[in-house]
Structure 1
Amino acid sequence: FKVLGNGGVKRGHAFKSHILTKKTTKTKRQLRGTAMVNERDMASVAKMLPYA
């Protein structure tokens, strides 16, 4: 996780660490990079990041 200047939180994608042979190339490509934490999850993520 990384807290951004606008208050949003950046996260990595799940399902990208192992058992990749059965996943399509398109799926693996789309799981690269980062995504933003949904606003509904921000309260629980903020509790997990005490210094953010």
Structure 2
Amino acid sequence: MPKLKTRRAAAKRFKLTGSGKKIARRKAFKNHLLNHKSAEQKRRRLSGMALVDKSDEKNVRLMLPYA
């Protein structure tokens, strides 16, 4: 059976957690147009990582066959 190719775009966007059971992602809305957003919102709500939802997890795992 041939090697499976990893979707490079997905590999750059998702990481497995330490246990390897969950997939982490970056939160949206913190790329540009940040002037009108409060520092509190940017610090509390938009910083850090979030987990990929269960409904999307299967598709992400298919894109990352060796993760």
Shorter-chain TM range is 0.7 to 0.9
Q: TM-score, normalised by structure 2?
A: 0.66
> Could you say which residue in structure 2 is the equivalent of 1:21?
35
Name which structure has the greater RCO, CA cutoff 8 Å, separation 6+: 2
Secondary structure (helix, strand or coil) at the match of 1:2 reads strand
User: Cα deviations across residues 1-52 of structure 1 (Å, max 9, x unaligned)?
Assistant: 1112241001111110111001122221121111111111101211222321
The percent identity for this pair of structures is: 42
Name structure 1 gaps, 5 residues minimum: none
Secondary structure (helix, strand or coil) at the match of 2:62 reads helix
Q: TM-score, normalised by structure 1?
A: 0.80
Structure 1 residue runs of 4 or more that deviate by more than 4 Å after TM superposition: none
Equivalent pairs counted in the alignment come to 52
Name structure 2 gaps, 5 residues minimum: 1-13
Larger radius of gyration: 2
Secondary structure (helix, strand or coil) at the match of 2:24 reads strand
The Cα RMSD (Å) is: 1.3
1:32 paired to 2:47? yes
